[in-house]
């Protein structure tokens, strides 16, 4: 878990079970100026969100994960107040998975393998690295 203080930065919660993938994405997001919290399974993701959903500006989660799948977490947090936007990832996803994720409230489904630049671009559009002025 990355807990370096970047109070004025957007806070992203990244859930990915694959260490290499998690490390790479976290690194890229961090390099781009985000505050990043990571976890490696669905259950940790759910606990983090339950503990403080408002802490996060964006959730990026893999669908296939141990303990709880991404979709299960989406279902579980559907009644949470102030739920942050969720971006899902899956390896070679099909239409059905995409539809299911969107129905459960995900903004988009990223199809692994995706281009890292495009990924960053997408995250930037969803939430700029710097938090909006009202936070100050």
Q: Is 30 left (phi over 0), alpha (psi -120 to 50) or beta?
A: alpha
> DSSP characters for 8-62?
TB-EEEEE-S-HHHHHHHHHHHHHTT-EEEEESSHHHHHHHHHHHGGG-SEEEEE
55 binds other proteins (CB under 8 A): no
- Tell me how far, at minimum, the Cβ of 113 lies from other proteins, in Å: 4
- Binding-site member from 64, 72, 83, 122 for other proteins (CB under 8 A): 64
Q: How many residues bind other proteins (CB under 8 A)?
A: 20
Q: Which residue lies nearer to other proteins by CB, 31 or 82?
A: 31
Residue numbers 116-135 binding other proteins by CB under 8 A: 116-117
102 binds other proteins (CB under 8 A): no
């Amino acid at each position: 878990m990355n807990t370096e203080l970047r109070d004025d930065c957007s806070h992203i919660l990244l859930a990915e079970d694959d260490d290499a993938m998690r490390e790479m994405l976290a690194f890229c997001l961090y390099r781009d100026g985000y505050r990043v919290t990571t976890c490696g399974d669905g259950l940790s993701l759910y606990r983090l969100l339950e503990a403080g959903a408002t802490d996060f500006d964006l959730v990026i989660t893999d669908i296939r994960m141990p303990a709880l799948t991404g979709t299960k977490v989406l279902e579980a947090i559907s009644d949470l107040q102030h739920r942050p936007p969720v971006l899902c990832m899956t390896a070679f996803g099909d239409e059905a998975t995409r539809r299911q994720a969107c129905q459960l409230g995900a903004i988009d489904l990223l199809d692994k393998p995706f281009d890292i630049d495009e990924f960053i671009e997408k995250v930037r559009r969803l939430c700029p690295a710097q938090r909006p002025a009202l936070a100050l």
